[in-house]
């Protein structure tokens, strides 16, 4: 374990390795080709990330096919995948499903599902209702019925991330005595998926209807809330570093552009109006980076109120990524508004990220409840 | 003078033990400040990264907060407050540029606060454009008595000089060659403020207080031995001073909820009758900015201590911290509402900003200086744009022509 904010040589090498891999295997041209395919996902690339780099299961214990390196390592990878807009089930599999499975108390369930995900052989997602980025059991509408062997689930799941491609669905469903978590094989009879047209073509969702689908209960009613909450916290922290990765890429692209682009006989980056906006983009990015890394370290080490650290990270990183990507469009000029330019790809990812797992406003509300409201309550 | 000489490389545990020994032998609440800080210096805790015998232990700079924490817990002062300019800004330059004899003569009274320091850099027409300064230093011809070169005779005017009225020493940047471009004709000196010809006039600020000064230099004589660095290389020395000014801020990372945001939280708590959802959101956003700034300062500190290349750190934290301070006190004034229109005094010798029934109002007024002092926010953004992001420099009409020919 490293001290907070200490990036060892090993972490730096991991970052370089993933960055180089993405540049070679998933350059922007490849992203553009993949994002207009039916699934919007490159399954061959996904398997290579696992087989050649071994970077999908860094936070998964070795006993379950992972590397056991921890969340900080996983965060570095997600940051780089986000910087390159790699088309794959990062959100569903790495951010949501793996942390949920890893949090289960039943070792047999972990052993059954995690290794295939870590090896990139299968992909998964977590489909549970949320409100403001937290697990919301009151909103569970899927019903679970005991069957001869196991359970059957019925109901509708809206806007499931990576729902089109997931081989494994982790679904919260209502039993007679509460809400439990179930595993559903994607190819089971009775699973009907409808791919949704998404703002961000590189991050797809699906509506899924379950009709008497055979399912396995993986967390009972007492365990389900803590498993889901843990998964959502980890996913949010990873999403925050992904936002940092994308924002960094947009800052780099913008700085390169304003350095080269000549107007009035000078590079436009030499004008203070442009230079100062770039400086403000860097400042915003550095702030987001600090809170995103803090959230990851805090979750790994248990050194802070997890909800506070995560909501702080998401509030700052969401607004930062959005502002940096809109600034990139502005500073790229007309080119920034074209389909050929790269900024729109990042604006769309930034917009999507900022609306998933809690909006900036919702996360600010979580922070308010844990800070300002406590100051008032102390009267 | 006793100096603790460790036989092994200093680590946090060792620093902590040395510090505890000092505060045990010299209880901060019971002994005079100069005795306490003298013992602190002799033990090598003033700047742990300095050499032994000069207030340090050749320890990693990252261990300074360990020593400072022990001092704080024992009820002692934050060491920098003993000599604000001298501690963080001048000491490093003395270590790099003074002769060993000068350094040991100057550093201990600096560390104890017996000899305060000020910085004679800015001038009425050279603030952000520091290198454009006009104060002249002319060297008398050397003779048998002073073979290395004669005394320097200095004439000019400085401004915004914090603490000049209580300082024994100053660092001074002066023009020694007006016939070369502005950055090349400067030389760096240290000046004994008791020298004849030095006149300090308090300068009243918009807060009503007189915290800064104008300093007039009329045929002030400085021995050549008090020159730091080569003649004409003052800009290089000055940059090392300014670098220390930025870096020294990283030695103290406050606790969550402390610093300026603590004022806002306390005021919020004290005025439940003025709570609204709009103010609640504003305060939460300020809390988020303060905590984010705190974490960024901490990340910058770790990066400086563990990585070979420094990040964008100091310019970013300077910019963010100063703007945050202003926005926090703007919020506080809105929270106060009509009561915010009152102020207890505009007396030039008003009590320090920390106390009094309208301390918030005075801090609000004082906060307007945070984006000016130590480099304006505009200059910080230029620094970030040009030195961190490597964007093209501002076109500079005066860069290559002799200073004498620069329009002013």
Which residues of chain B make contact with A378, given a CB cutoff of 8 A?
Answer: 269
Specify the pLDDT at position B249: 54
> Using CA atoms in the order B1, B2, B3, B8, what is the torsion angle rounded to 10 degrees?
160
Q: What SS3 class is residue B307?
A: coil
Which residues of chain B make contact with A269, given a CB cutoff of 8 A?
Answer: 385, 391-392
Nearest to B49 by CA among B39, B58, B37, B40: B58
> Using CA atoms in the order B234, B237, B240, B246, what is the torsion angle rounded to 10 degrees?
-40
CB contact under 8 A, B381 and A267: no
Specify the pLDDT at position A377: 72
Identify the residue among B63, B263, B276, B295 best suited for mutation to test binding to A, counting A beta carbons within 10 A and taking the highest: B295
Ramachandran region of residue A70, left (φ > 0), alpha (ψ -120 to 50) or beta?
Answer: left
Summarised one tens digit per residue, pLDDT across range B23-74 is 999 999 999 999 999 999 999 999 999 999 999 999 988 788 899 999 999 9
Q: Which residues of B359-369 are buried (b: 16+ CB within 10 A; e: fewer)?
A: bbbbbbbbbeb
CB contact under 8 A, B292 and A368: no
Picking from B291, B302, B382, the nearest residue to A3 by CB comes out as B302
**Six-digit token string for A282:** 């860097």
pLDDT level of residue B246 (50, 70, 90 thresholds): low
In the block, residue with structure tokens 């915003």 = A284
Confidence check: pLDDT of B151 > 80? yes
Chain B touched by A363 (CB under 8 Å): no
User: Which of A112-116, A156-160, B163-167, B264-268 has the weakest average pLDDT?
Assistant: B163-167
Calpha distance B216→A5 (Å, rounded): 47
Chain B touched by A315 (CB under 8 Å): yes
* CB-CB contact of A210 with A174 (8 Å): no
Specify the pLDDT at position B355: 75
Specify the pLDDT at position B352: 62
The residue with greater pLDDT, B165 or A332, is A332
CB contact under 8 A, A278 and B385: yes
Specify the pLDDT at position B270: 95
Q: Which residues of B222-257 are buried (b: 16+ CB within 10 A; e: fewer)?
A: bbbebbbbebbbbbebbebbbebbbbbbbbbbeeeb
Confidence check: pLDDT of B252 > 90? no
- Helix/strand/coil (H/E/C) assignment for every residue in chain A: CCCCCCCCHHHHHHHHHHHHHHHHHCCHHHHHHHHCCCCCCCHHHHHHHHHHHCCCCCCCCHHHCCCCCCHHHHHHHHHHHHHCCCCCCHHHHHHHHHHHHHCCCCHHHHHHHHHHHHCCCCCEEEECCEECCEECHHHCCCEEEEECCEEEEEEEEEEEECCCCCCEEEEEEEECCEEEEEEEECCCCCEEEEECCCCCCCCCEEEEEEEEEEEEEEECCCCHHHHHHHHHHHHHHHHHHHHHHHHHHHHHHHHHHHHHCEECCEEHHHCHHHHHHHHHHHHHHHHHHHHHHHHHHHHHHCCCCHHHHHHHHHHHHHHHHHHHHHHHHHHCHHHHHCCCCCHHHHHHHHHHHHHCCCCHHHHHHHHHHHCHHHHHHCC
Which residues of chain A make contact with B283, given a CB cutoff of 8 A?
Answer: 372
> Residues B336-343: contacts with CB within 8 Å, 24+ apart?
B336/B267, B336/B271, B336/B274, B336/B360, B336/B361, B337/B274, B340/B364
Calpha distance B45→B22 (Å, rounded): 9
* CB-CB contact of A38 with A338 (8 Å): no
Which residues of chain B make contact with A280, given a CB cutoff of 8 A?
Answer: 381
CB contact under 8 A, B298 and A4: yes
CB contact under 8 A, A286 and B316: yes
Chain A touched by B265 (CB under 8 Å): yes
Calpha distance B99→B116 (Å, rounded): 20
Q: What SS3 class is residue B62?
A: helix
In the block, residue with structure tokens 């041209």 = A29
Specify the pLDDT at position B314: 79
Evaluate the CA torsion angle B108, B112, B114, B118 in order and state its sign.
positive
Give the gyration radius of chain A's Cα atoms.
21
Summarised one tens digit per residue, pLDDT across range A259-300 is 999 999 999 999 999 999 999 999 999 999 999 999 999 999
pLDDT level of residue B110 (50, 70, 90 thresholds): very high
Summarised one tens digit per residue, pLDDT across range B212-241 is 899 999 999 999 999 999 999 999 999 888
> Mean pLDDT throughout A86-103?
98
At residue B324's C-alpha, the angle toward residues B322 and B330, to 5°, is 110
Which residues of chain B make contact with A276, given a CB cutoff of 8 A?
Answer: 378, 381-382, 385
Q: Considering only alpha carbons, which residue of chain A is nearest residue B379? A: A276
Picking from B280, B295, B389, the nearest residue to A291 by CB comes out as B295
CB contact under 8 A, B284 and A371: yes
Summarised one tens digit per residue, pLDDT across range A72-92 is 999 999 999 999 999 999 999
The residue with greater pLDDT, A116 or B161, is A116
**Six-digit token string for B240:** 């090392």
Query: Would you call B101 a catalytic residue per the annotation?
Result: no
Widest Cα–Cα separation across chain B = 78
The residue with greater pLDDT, B352 or A77, is A77
What does residue A152 show for φ and ψ, rounded to 5 degrees?
Answer: -125, 145
Widest Cα–Cα separation across chain A = 79
- In angstroms, the separation between the Cα of residue B401 and the nearest Cα of chain A is 21
pLDDT level of residue B1 (50, 70, 90 thresholds): very low
């Amino acid at each position: 374990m490293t001290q907070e904010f200490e990036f060892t040589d090993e972490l730096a090498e991991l970052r370089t390795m993933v960055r180089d891999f993405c540049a070679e295997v998933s350059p922007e041209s490849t992203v553009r080709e993949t994002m207009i395919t039916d699934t919007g996902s490159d399954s061959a690339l996904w398997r290579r990330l696992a087989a050649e780099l071994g970077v999908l299961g860094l936070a998964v214990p070795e006993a379950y096919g992972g590397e056991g390196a921890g969340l900080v390592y996983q965060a570095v990878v997600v940051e780089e995948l986000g910087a390159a807009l790699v088309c794959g089930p990062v959100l569903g599999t790495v951010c949501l499903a793996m942390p949920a499975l890893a949090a289960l108390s039943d070792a047999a369930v972990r052993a059954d599902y995690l290794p295939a995900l870590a090896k990139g052989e299968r992909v998964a997602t977590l489909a549970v209702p949320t409100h403001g980025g937290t697990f919301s059991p009151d909103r569970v509408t899927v019903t679970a019925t005991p069957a001869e062997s196991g359970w059957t689930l019925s109901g509708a799941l809206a806007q499931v991330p990576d729902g089109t491609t997931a081989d494994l669905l982790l679904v919260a469903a209502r039993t007679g005595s509460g809400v439990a978590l179930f595993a559903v094989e994607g190819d089971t009879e009775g699973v009907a998926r409808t791919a949704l047209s998404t703002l961000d073509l590189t991050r797809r969702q699906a509506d899924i209807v379950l009709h008497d689908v055979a399912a396995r209960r993986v967390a009972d009613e007492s365990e389900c809330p803590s498993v889901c909450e843990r998964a959502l916290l980890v996913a949010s922290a990873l999403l925050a570093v992904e936002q940092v990765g994308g924002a960094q890429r947009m800052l780099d692209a913008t700085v390169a552009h304003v350095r080269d682009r000549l107007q009035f006989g000078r590079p436009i980056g030499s004008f203070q109006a442009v230079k100062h906006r770039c400086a403000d983009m860097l400042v915003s990015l550095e702030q987001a980076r600090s809170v995103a890394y803090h959230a990851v370290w805090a979750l790994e080490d248990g050194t802070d109120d997890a909800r506070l650290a995560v909501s702080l990270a998401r509030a700052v990183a969401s607004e930062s990524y959005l502002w940096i990507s809109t600034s990139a469009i502005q500073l790229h000029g007309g080119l920034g508004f074209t389909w050929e330019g790269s900024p729109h790809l990042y604006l769309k990812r930034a917009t999507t990220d900022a609306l998933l797992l809690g909006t900036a406003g919702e996360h600010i509300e979580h922070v308010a409840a844990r800070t300002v409201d406590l100051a008032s309550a102390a009267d | 003078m006793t100096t603790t000489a460790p036989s092994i490389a200093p680590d946090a545990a060792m620093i902590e033990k040395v510090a505890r020994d000092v505060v045990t032998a010299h209880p901060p609440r019971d002994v005079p400040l100069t005795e306490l800080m003298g013992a602190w210096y002799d033990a090598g805790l003033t700047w742990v990264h300095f050499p032994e015998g000069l207030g340090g232990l050749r320890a990693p700079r990252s261990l300074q907060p360990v020593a400072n924490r022990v001092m704080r817990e024992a009820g002692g002062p934050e060491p920098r407050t003993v000599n604000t300019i001298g501690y963080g800004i001048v000491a490093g330059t003395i270590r790099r540029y003074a002769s060993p004899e000068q350094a040991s003569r100057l550093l201990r009274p600096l560390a104890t606060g017996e000899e305060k320091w000020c910085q004679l850099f800015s001038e009425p027409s050279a603030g952000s454009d520091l290198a454009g300064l006009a104060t002249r230093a002319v060297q008398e011809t050397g003779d048998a008595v002073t073979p290395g070169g004669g005394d320097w005779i200095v004439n000019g005017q400085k401004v915004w000089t914090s603490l000049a009225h209580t300082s024994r020493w100053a660092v001074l940047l002066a023009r020694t060659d007006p016939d070369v471009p502005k950055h090349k004709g400067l030389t760096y000196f240290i000046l004994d403020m008791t020298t004849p010809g030095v006149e300090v006039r308090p300068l009243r600020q918009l807060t009503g207080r007189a915290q800064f000064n104008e300093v007039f230099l009329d045929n002030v004589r400085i021995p050549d031995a008090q020159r730091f660095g080569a003649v004409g290389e003052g800009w290089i020395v000055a940059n090392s001073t300014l670098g220390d000014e930025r870096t020294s801020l990283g030695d103290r990372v406050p606790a969550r909820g402390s610093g300026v945001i603590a004022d806002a939280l306390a005021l919020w708590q004290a005025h439940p009758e003025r709570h609204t959802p709009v103010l609640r959101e504003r305060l939460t956003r300020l809390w988020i900015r303060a905590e984010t700034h705190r974490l960024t300062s901490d990340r910058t500190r770790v990066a400086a201590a563990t990585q070979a290349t420094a990040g964008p750190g100091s310019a970013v934290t300077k910019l963010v911290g100063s703007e945050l301070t202003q926005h926090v006190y703007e919020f506080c004034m809105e929270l106060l509402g009509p009561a915010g229109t009152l102020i207890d005094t505009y007396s030039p010798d008003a009590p320090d900003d920390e106390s009094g029934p309208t301390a918030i109002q005075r801090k609000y007024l004082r906060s307007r200086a945070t984006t000016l002092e130590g480099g304006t926010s505009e200059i910080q953004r230029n620094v970030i744009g040009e030195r961190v992001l490597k964007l093209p420099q501002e076109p500079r009409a005066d860069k290559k022509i002799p200073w004498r020919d620069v329009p002013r």
